[in-house]
A and B are shown apart, each in its own frame.
Chain A
Amino acid sequence: MEGDISPIVWSVRGTVEMDVVVWSLEPLVAALRSAGYSVVGPTVKDGAVRLAEISSAAELPAGTGDAQEPGHYRLTERDDDLVFGFAASPDSAKRFTQPPRQTLFRMRDREIEEVEPEAPRVALLGVRACDLAAMAVQDRVFLGGRHPDPAYRRRREALFLVAVNCAVPGGTCFCVSMGTGPKATAGFDLALTELAAPHRFLIETGSERGAEIVTAIPHQAATGDDVAAAEEVSRTAAGRMGRTVDTAGVQEWLPAAHDHPRWDDVASRCLACTNCTMVCPTCFCSTVEDVTDLSGEVAERSERWDSCFTLDFSEVGGAPVRGSQRGRYRQWLTHKFATWFDQFGTSGCVGCGRCITWCPTGIDVTEELSCIR
């Protein structure tokens, strides 16, 4: 229903009473495919873990790990066969909820032609707790206001979410500080915890349709030992955060630090390249572009990802309002961690660490915050 501000998938615990255990992900992939979803999961491509369509669980990157530091990402070989032995990948679910470019409408001979939004039925396999939290943040942005976005809603509803509870946080992860992970607590259809010795997966069910998939695959009821082992995975992961940040009172002290000298320092390192905003799973800013065809008969309006680091972004009357790098970085950090609360009632950051890893000069939001505090 348009205008409905409730989040799309709220966890419906208890539809399958018990957690279950499966020994292979192959039947899960097959069941999702026969339920009409294309399954998109982590794969290895171009030296990184990338989200791509898979037709078999054998395509998942077993034995692959990652090393993530500010401005640095490398794949590693693990000495075990963990299928999910890595942290956040450069791709997030944002690509599916808010595609980089979409056509909004066309005008032909002065008549408006609506363009159907593309909303493919996709099962995202391996979504992390921070990514689920990011989707909840985006839900609030796109659906929670006075002008809910029906295209977003359609894409969002077409997603089936299989979460994975992180076993191996990355060097730039700080979900514990942001209260979003490493264990998925809501917003998923199914949540997996990968267990070793013997290798198996504990599955929690979060929705009716999740329960239907579980019913369709061979599984056994989880024992107390399985549940305890899964809890231990999340506890251990929580103790291995790459980074921490203290955001107590951030809504007050960050906007008040408008003239802090640290802004000049970070501006000297910032390229205004936009990478941090592009990889951030909650950054939602876009711009619209209008183009015509050669004959002048067809005009088209499209929407594409934009960033508060570009000059066009704040252009008013031919000149940018935020012309300096200092002003642009300050806008980004302050919005993300402080004024987002005023606007949407939550933090704009979920602690996934992507902006830190994928910043070409390794600017680290947690470090900037601790210097400004």
Chain B
Amino acid sequence: MGVSEPGHRPRLAVWKFASCDGCQLTLLDCEDELLSIAAELEIAYFLEASSAAGPGPYDLSLVEGSITTAEDAERVRHVRRVSKRLVTIGACATAGGIQALRDFADVREFTSVVYARPEYIATLERSTPISAHVPVDFELRGCPIDKRQLLEVITAYLADRRPVVPRHSVCVECKARGNVCVLVAHGTPCLGPVTQAGCGALCPAFNRGCYGCFGPGETTNSRALNRQLRTLGMSDPDLVRVYRTFNATEEPFRRASEEAEDDA
């Protein structure tokens, strides 16, 4: 085995930054596989599951959440220092998350509206992905991440091989699953053609359009998709909004929403 020396189980740590905990919970969701994971990896630091925090260093760190405070920007450097491999999990960690919507506005304005005592809030102007602060070995996308893909990333790490996490569009999975295309057959706006696969085309399987929660795919001709979505009757403000969710600041989606604004 490439990464584990004999008699030594690699040590796993799970870290949280600005996030909802949903992606970490995906690990606990691996009910059937959890025992096998624990047999292969020592779960040394995982506050969501156990308050016992083993000291570093760690062989594999899964990092959830984005960086929104100066303290976290410091802390993630520590995480990097104590981790041999660092994998970010979920849209917050890979793209800044829904909280990156602040990038399109003035965060002080938000805090003044939301909090009774805004002067107690110390937050950065922007919400940034982990990769903006430290080198990241692999990014697993999704809001939340997909359980199968998380298992694949952990398994690939154990076998020291490249994880099978393709970057092609959701449409590939959608057709393989045998969904009817909601865009063509129902006129439902769908971001599948510009979104990275991974969810198994979940939303179209339930006759909903893809919301783009896995972020931009390998090819994003959003200008062409926007033209089609307009033809389907989507208004310009809706078009701007549809790209501004969990991956709003990922460059291709940012560009797509700005194109929609410009064309409006």
Task: Please give, as numbers and ranges, the residues of chain B lying within 8 Å of A271 by CB-CB distance.
Answer: 169, 193-194, 219, 221, 224-225
Measured between beta carbons, the chain A residues less than 8 angstroms from B39 are: 294-295
Q: Which residues, 271 to 300 on A, are CB-close (under 8 Å) to B?
A: 271-275, 278-279, 289-296
The residues of A that contact B180 with a CB separation of less than 8 Å are: 45-48, 50, 90
B176: which A residues are within 8 A, CB to CB?
A: 100-101, 278, 304-305
Query: In the assembled complex, which residues on chain A have CB atoms less than 8 Å from the CB atom of B37?
Result: 294
Among B151, B154, B167, B168, the most chain A Cβ lie within 10 Å of the Cβ of B168
By a CB distance below 8 angstroms, the chain A residues around B193 are 271, 273, 275, 360
Contact among A73, A307, A312 with B185 in the assembled complex (CB-CB below 8 Å): A73
Q: Which residue of B lies closest to A279 (CB)?
A: B175
The stretch among B77-85, B105-113, B157-165 that forms the contact with chain A is B157-165
Contacts of A269 in B (CB 8 A): 221, 224, 227
Chain A nearest CB from B84 CB (Å) reads: 18
CB distance from B140 to the nearest CB of A (A): 15
Contact A361 B227 (CB under 8 A): yes
- Per the bound structure, the CA–CA distance linking A192 and B227 in Å amounts to 42
**A358 close to chain B: CB less than 8 A:** yes
**Cα A40 to Cα B174 with chains together (Å):** 21
Chain A residue numbers with a CB within 8 Å of B223 are 268
Question: Which of chain B's residues have a CB closer than 8 A to the CB of A73?
Answer: 181, 184-185
Is there an interface contact between B172 and A305, defined as CB atoms closer than 8 Å? yes
User: Contact: A268 with B224, CB < 8 Å?
Assistant: yes
Q: Please give the distance in Å from A292's CB to the nearest CB on chain B.
A: 5
Q: Are B219 and A272 in contact (CB under 8 A)?
A: yes
Q: Mark B196-221, 1 if CB is under 8 A from A, else 0.
A: 00000000000100000000001101
Q: How far is the CB of A359 from chain B (nearest CB, A)?
A: 8
- The yes or no answer to A366 lying at the interface (CB within 8 A) is no
Nearest-CB residue, chain B, relative to A51: B178
Q: Check if A193 is an interface residue, CB within 8 A of chain B.
A: no
Indicate whether A352 reaches chain B with its CB closer than 8 angstroms: no
Kindly supply a per-residue 1/0 record for chain A positions 15-51, scoring 1 wherever the CB is within 8 Å of any chain B CB and 0 otherwise.
Answer: 0000000000000000000000000000001111010
A311, B159: Cα distance in complex, Å: 25
Quick one: which of B159, B167, B177, B227 contacts A312, CB cutoff 8 A?
B167
Residues of A within 8 A of B227 (CB): 269, 361
Cα distance, A80 to B171, chains bound together (Å):
35
| Best-surrounded residue of B154, B166, B172 (most CB of chain A within 10 A) | B172
Least Cβ–Cβ distance between B195 and chain A, in angstroms? 10
Nearest-neighbor residue (CB-CB) of B161 within chain A: A292
With contacts A47-B180, A271-B221, A305-B175 taken as known, whether A291 is within 8 angstroms of B155 at the C-beta atoms is yes
Is B152 in the interface zone, CB < 8 Å from A? yes
- A47 B221 Cβ-Cβ under 8 A: no
- For the complex formed, measure the closest distance between the CB of B154 and the CB atoms of chain A, giving whole angstroms: 7
Q: How far is the CA of A100 from the CA of B176 in the complex (A)?
A: 5
A314 within 8 A of B: no
How many angstroms from the CA of A272 to the CA of B33 in the assembled complex?
36
A325 close to chain B: CB less than 8 A: yes
Complex-state Cα separation, A2 to B109, whole angstroms: 73
Contact pattern, A 92-105, Cβ under 8 Å of B = 1, otherwise 0:
00010000110000
User: Is B175 touching A275 in the complex (CB atoms < 8 A)?
Assistant: yes
Contact A291 B152 (CB under 8 A): yes
Q: Is B241 an interface residue (CB 8 A)?
A: no
**Closest A residue to B171 using CB positions:** A273
Identify A310's interface contact among B151, B166, B207, CB under 8 A: B166
A91 at the interface (CB under 8 A from B): yes
User: How far does the Cβ of B51 sit from chain A's closest Cβ, in whole Å?
Assistant: 25
Give Cα A46 to B205, complex, Å: 10
In the bound complex, do residue A358 and residue B181 qualify as a contact, i.e. CB atoms below 8 Å apart? yes
Highest count of chain B CB atoms <10 Å: which of A50, A74, A360, A362? A360
Q: Is A234 interfacial (CB-CB < 8 Å)?
A: no
- Min CB–CB distance A335 → chain B (angstroms): 19
By the criterion CB–CB under 8 Å, are A274 and B175 in contact?
A: yes
How far is the CB of B263 from the nearest CB of chain A, in Å?
14
**Given A269-B224, A305-B172: A74 and B1 within 8 A (CB)?**
no
Tell me whether B171 and A278 are in contact (CB under 8 A).
yes
A275 x B181 contact (CB < 8 A): yes
Q: Does B142 contact A (CB under 8 A)?
A: no
Minimal beta-carbon separation of B183 from chain A (angstroms): 5
**What residues of chain B lie closer than 8 Å to A270, measured between beta carbons?**
221, 224
Partner of A360, one of B33, B152, B178, B183: B183
**Residue A72, interface by CB 8 Å:** yes
Interchain nearest-CB distance for B86 vs A (Å): 20
Given A278-B175, A358-B184, A360-B171, 18 further pairs, Cβ under 8 A: A46-B185, A48-B180, A73-B181, A100-B177, A269-B224, A271-B169, A274-B175, A275-B193, A290-B164, A293-B155, A294-B37, A305-B175, A310-B168, A310-B169, A310-B172, A312-B168, A360-B228, A361-B225
Chain A contact residues, CB within 8 Å of chain B: 45-48, 50, 71-74, 90-91, 95, 100-101, 268-275, 278-279, 289-296, 304-307, 309-312, 325, 357-362
A-B pairs, top 9 by smallest CB distance, nearest first, are A278-B175, A273-B193, A100-B176, A272-B219, A271-B193, A310-B168, A46-B180, A273-B171, A294-B36
21 A/B residue pairs, CB under 8 Å, sorted by A: A47-B185, A50-B180, A72-B184, A73-B181, A101-B176, A268-B223, A269-B227, A271-B169, A271-B221, A271-B224, A272-B221, A275-B181, A278-B171, A291-B155, A292-B159, A294-B39, A294-B151, A357-B184, A358-B181, A359-B184, A360-B225
